[in-house]
Structure 1
C-alpha cells in the first residue's frame, strides 16, 4: 500500500454513499458489545447482553439456544479462530476475570483461564492468523496489568507481557503473528520472538487495527472522534483524520471493537455513536456511511468483504470498483466543465 505522509481531511459528504442497513437480528433490544464472523462468513457470533448467540448469516436465523457461561459469568468479548473450530470469550466471573476457549461443534469449554480476584478480562481476546495462539489482557485493580499469550491446542502459557497500567483496551496480533499490539493510555507493540516491547506510541486509543501488510497500525480515539495511522516500526504518525459525528463521550461499555479493516486491505470501517463510516485507507477519504437508530459498540467486516456487521445490523459493504466509478464520474464531470469553459 502506498501511503502519503500528508494529513488528509475526511471526504466531503457529497462524495460519500449512504447505504441502508438491514436488520440481521430482528427486534434485538439488548446491547451487542462484540461480534465476529466465521472464516467462511456463513455464521456470526455475538455477545448479546450477558450471553452469546450464533446466527446463520444467509438464512438470517438463530442457531441453537443462547450460550450462557453460568450465573456469575458475563461475557464481554469473543474471537473466532481462523479455522473456525474454536472460539474464545473474555469476561468477568464472580470477583475475577475469566477467559474461556470453546469447541465450535460441541459448544463445550475446552480450557478455562481464571485470573486472580480484583481482575477483569474486559479487553479483547484475539486469535492469531495461524490459529495457534490466543492473546488476552487482564486489568487488575491496584496492581500492574498483564497481557498473556496462550497455546490454543493445550492451553499452555506461551508468554506473559507487561503493558502499561490502563493499556488493556484492545489487543491485536500482526498479520504475520510475529508482533502483538495493545492500546489504552498509549499504544504498545511487542516482538513475540523476544517478548520485549519494540515500540511505544504516546497517544491514547480505544481500539486499534493493523493494515493488511502489517506495516502500519490504525488507532481510534472515540472521545474526540480521531483516527490515526502510525508506522509500526518507527511510530511516526502517517496521517490523522476525524469523522463528523456529533461530539460524544467515550462509551463506558468496554471493550469497544470499533474498527475493522476490509479483507483486501483497502478500506477501514469505524463506528462512533449511531454511525459507521467506511474510509479508503490510501487517502483517508470517506466512501460510505451507515446510520442506525441507536448507538453501536462494535463493527466487523465479513471474510469475503461483501458485508459489514454492526450490532444487530448487517450492511452491504462498498467495493473498490464503486469508488473507482465515482472517481471516473467526477473526472468526467470536471473534464466536461473544463471543455465548456474553453469553448466559451
Structure 2
C-alpha cells in the first residue's frame, strides 16, 4: 500500500489537505500497470492541426490565454463548526472536470513516479470496464484537453499521419486511440492530468454500483486495489453511519444522474478532495474523479481562518456523526493543529 504521506502528508507537520468534490458520473477504472505510463515523444509534422471531433459531451469552453504557470491552486475553505454527514452536492459544469495550476508539472512528475513504483496499487481494471475507460480517454485527449487548455495541449499529426495529443508542458505525445490494454490506458490518464479516476458500473445483481476500474495516485487511508469489485456501500463500510445516512440516497442519486449533468461537493474535513462525478454519454458508466489539494497551516492562519479551522476540527465530533472525529484520527493530530491555529 502506498503511504498516504507520499512525502506530502506528514502529521503533526503544518500541512493539511482540504478537499472539494466535483461529481460527474462515477466510473471506476481499475487496471494493472505493466507498460510505460506515457508514449515517448515522437517527431511530428503538423502543417495543419487535426480538428477536435464532436462528441456526446456538452461543449467545452476554450481558455486561449490560460497560463498554467501563474495560476494559483483552487482554494477550498469549507470550514463548518459542526460536521454533518450529507451528500452536500452542488451543480457544476463540464469545464470543471479538470483543473490546472502552477503545481501541474511537479504533480505530474510525482504521479508518473508513483505509477512506475507502485503499478499494482495505483491502477487496475476488470474487462467489463474497458468500454467506459476507452470512452473517457478518447474524449479527454481528443476533445477536452486541447479545447480547454490549447496552450498546454494541441492535436498534431504524427508519423504516417496518425493523430496524437502533444503536451507542450512535458513534450510527451499521447495516442488519440486507447490502448488494447485498459491498464495502459489508465496509466496514460494517470500521468496526464492531476486527477484520480474511479469507474463504477451497475452491479451484476442489479443492486447498486460496483468499482470496476481505477487509477489513484493519492488515496488517503486505504488501498484502492483492495476495493476492486466491491459495491459502493461496501467500499464505504469503514465510514461511520454511511449505511444509515447516505447509502440509499447515494444509490438513488446515481440511478437518476442523467448524461450531461455535473455535480460537485465539498467536505469540511481535515483532508478534502475536489471531486467530480458524471455519467459517461455512451457507456452510461459513472465516473468519479478527485483532485487532492494540500494547504500549509500558515496559509490558512494568514487568511484569518485559524479559528474557523480549529472549530471545524472540534466540529468533527459535534455533528450528526461524532464517530468522524475518530475516523479522521483527529485525536492524534487535532490538539497540536488547534494549538498552532489559535496561537
TM over 0.5: no
Which has a greater percent of strand?
1
If the length of structure 1 is used for normalisation, what is the TM-score?
0.28
What TM-score, normalized to structure 2? 0.28
Higher relative contact order (CA 8 A, sep 6+): 2
Larger relative helix fraction:
2
